[in-house]
Amino acid sequence: MSTLPHVFGAFFWYNRAMSKSLLKRIGVSGYNKPKRTPKHPTKSHVVVAKEGDKVKTIRFGQQGVRGAGKKPMTAKDKARRKSFKARHAKNIAKGKMSAAYWANKVKW
């Protein structure tokens, strides 16, 4: 039984080391900090999302397409923003572990 804490300690250290190398490999500055990926063939952004003990790499946003922004000027952009939020409302509500949440936060 005396080795049990040691094993869990090693597991924790291993997870922590893997997480830091994941951040470095993906090229983001920290958890829950999205970054543009202009050279990715299909996705415009990446984020390493962390919620509790869960860590997940999420790529989101269509490359080359801009969102309407937080303050759309034209009626067309206002309609696009409203449609996006209505269409993805259920997935946005799932929180930080969904691509729709990050697309909503960053692009719309």
Q: What local confidence, expressed as pLDDT, does residue 22 receive?
A: 83
Phi, psi for residue 3 in degrees, rounded to 5: -85, -10
Q: Residue 14: its pLDDT value, please?
A: 46
Q: How far is CA 40 from the centre of its chain?
A: 15
Which residues of the chain carry a pLDDT beneath 50? Answer: 1, 7-14
Are 46 and 26 within 8 A, CB to CB? Answer: yes
